[in-house]
Amino acid sequence: MTQDSQHDLTDTLERMGLLHPGETYRVETLPGGVSSDILCITLPGRSPTLSFCFKRALAKLKVAADWRAPVERNHAEVEWMRVAEALAPGSVPRILGEDVQAGAFAMEYLAPAAHPVWKSELRDGNIHTETAAAVANAIAAIHAGTARRADFAKRFANDHIFYPIRLEPYLLATAARHPDCAARLRELAETTARTKLALVHGDLSPKNILVSAHGPILLDAECAWYGDPAFDLAFCLNHMLLKCLWRPQWRERYLACYDALASNYLERVNWEPPAAIEARVAHLLPGLFLGRVDGKSPAEYLSEEKDKERVRRVARNYLLRPVERLATLRDAWNTELEGA
Ligand SMILES: Nc1ncnc2c1ncn2[C@@H]1O[C@H](COP(=O)(O)OP(=O)(O)OP(=O)(O)O)[C@@H](O)[C@H]1O
Ligand SMILES: [Mg+2]
């Protein structure tokens, strides 16, 4: 960290009331953090020693593609966490302070030994449908508690954030690489953009979920947006499909997590007919699936061309011939991989 940014950090922490003037602290950069500085701050002078997590939005994401997003997304994340804590208690870290001007906030630090990232657990074979079910329950509670509410719609009117960091890089950038699916991908982006039903997390990926003894902890809600809740379920299901290529030996277990996510979520849908949202998820999922290969944020573990071709084959088929049921997509992917 430069001297300037260290100075800014000290100011911000003092403004939040987390640091006494002149107090010393240690800074450790946490892994991940494509779009933000994410730090563990330790105050050795406190008894017992105090550690917390500090997150500050960067103006430009650290990825190759040009993918800018306003730093106010940091405030959207904090606001989302406040709502999540109220509707699904214990599903997010406790907020300790916020500096809206700096685009930064502090939250409780959840030590990795007791709170592993779900993505690492999935990679290492610690694959439990209970975790998937609990993620579904938490996100469904947040969707149900905010559904058809003008107050939340106003508070999270974040189209200007959601569009550049979700719809454009995943669906529209992919359309540019697949001319025959382009009209369908653009239609999906438009339908998603104009469906205003509930508070969406926007980045419900296993890398943004910690697993604790008390259930999953959801992180990284910078894309929080009042819009189509189908996006969250489709986004998370997409990861369960993709993981089958990362660790092929555990395909059945990833697909069991897919089923647990889908069934637990759909059981809790009370703001619209479950079949209606299931159909939107089933329409969106092939777009997001293809987006992870040919969009602006490709899954880093998909390096083999034959794996990418498998995703393209299934995704393109269901973009051009949409289905309404999530089980149809799961079965199609399973069949594609059985022949592998
Ligand atoms: N409260 C916390 N306690 C402990 N670790 C945390 C906490 N918040 C985040 N982390 C760690 O930091 C990583 C990055 O956090 P987060 O996803 O919020 O940042 P980001 O910059 O938006 O990341 P990315 O763009 O890579 O998804 C998490 O995967 C997790 O390992
Ligand atoms: Mg993250």
What CATH number does residue 334 fall under? 3.90.1200.10
Same domain for 61 and 165: no
pLDDT at 62: 53
Could you say which DSSP state residue 117 is in? Answer: B
- Calculate mean pLDDT across residues 74-95: 97
- Calculate mean pLDDT across residues 14-41: 90
Is the pLDDT at 64 greater than 50? The verdict is no
Ligand 1 pocket at CB < 6 A: 30, 32-36, 38, 53, 55, 93, 107-110, 117, 207-208, 219-220, 222
Same domain for 256 and 163: yes
Is the pLDDT at 59 greater than 80? The verdict is no
Q: How many domains does the chain have?
A: 2
Domain stops at, among 73, 108, 143: 108
pLDDT at 313: 98
Which residues, at least 6 apart from 226, have a Cβ–Cβ distance to it below 8 Å? 146, 152, 153, 154, 155, 156, 157, 158, 196, 198, 199, 200
Same domain for 234 and 182: yes
Identity of the residue numbered 103: G
Is the pLDDT at 1 greater than 80? The verdict is no
Is the pLDDT at 125 greater than 80? The verdict is yes
The number of the ligand nearest the C-alpha atom of 35 reads 1
Going by alpha carbons, the residue nearest to atom 20 of ligand 1 is: 33
**Residue 232 half-sphere exposure toward CB, CA atoms < 13 A:** 32
- Calculate mean pLDDT across residues 191-210: 97
Same domain for 198 and 317: yes
Same domain for 141 and 71: no
The rounded Å distance from CA 31 to ligand 2 centre is: 10
pLDDT band at 8 (very low <50, low <70, confident <90, very high): confident
Same domain for 77 and 140: no
Same domain for 139 and 53: no
Q: Is residue 97 part of a domain?
A: yes
- Please tell me the distance from the alpha carbon of residue 59 to that of residue 74, in angstroms, as a whole number: 11
DSSP per-residue codes, 175-202: HHH-GGGHHHHHHHHHHHHH---EEE-S
Domain stops at, among 56, 89, 108: 108
Same domain for 72 and 148: no
Record the pTM.
Answer: 0.95
Is the pLDDT at 68 greater than 60? The verdict is no
Domain that residue 188 falls in: 118-338
Domain stops at, among 108, 143, 171: 108
pLDDT at 75: 93
Average pLDDT, the chain: 94
pLDDT at 4: 66
Ligand 1 atom with the smallest distance to the CA of 205 is 27
Pair type for strands 209-212 and 104-108:
unpaired
Same domain for 294 and 165: yes
Q: Is residue 261 part of a domain?
A: yes
Q: Is residue 113 part of a domain?
A: no
Ligand 1 pocket, mutate which of 27, 37, 38 (most atoms under 8 A from CB): 38
How many beta carbons lie within 10 A of that of residue 314, not counting itself? 20
- Calculate mean pLDDT across residues 321-334: 98
CATH code of the domain containing 19: 3.30.200.20
Residue that is written with structure tokens 């329409």 in the block = 283
pLDDT at 61: 55
Same domain for 163 and 81: no
Over residues 100-121, the pLDDT tens digits come to 988 999 999 999 999 999 999 9
Over residues 245-276, the pLDDT tens digits come to 999 999 999 999 999 999 999 999 999 999 99
Q: Is residue 148 part of a domain?
A: yes
Cα dihedral 10→16→17→19 (10° resolution) = -20
Same domain for 184 and 94: no
- Calculate mean pLDDT across residues 50-66: 74
Same domain for 156 and 68: no
Q: Is residue 203 part of a domain?
A: yes
- Please tell me the distance from the alpha carbon of residue 229 to that of residue 227, in angstroms, as a whole number: 6
Q: What percent of the chain has pLDDT over 90?
A: 86
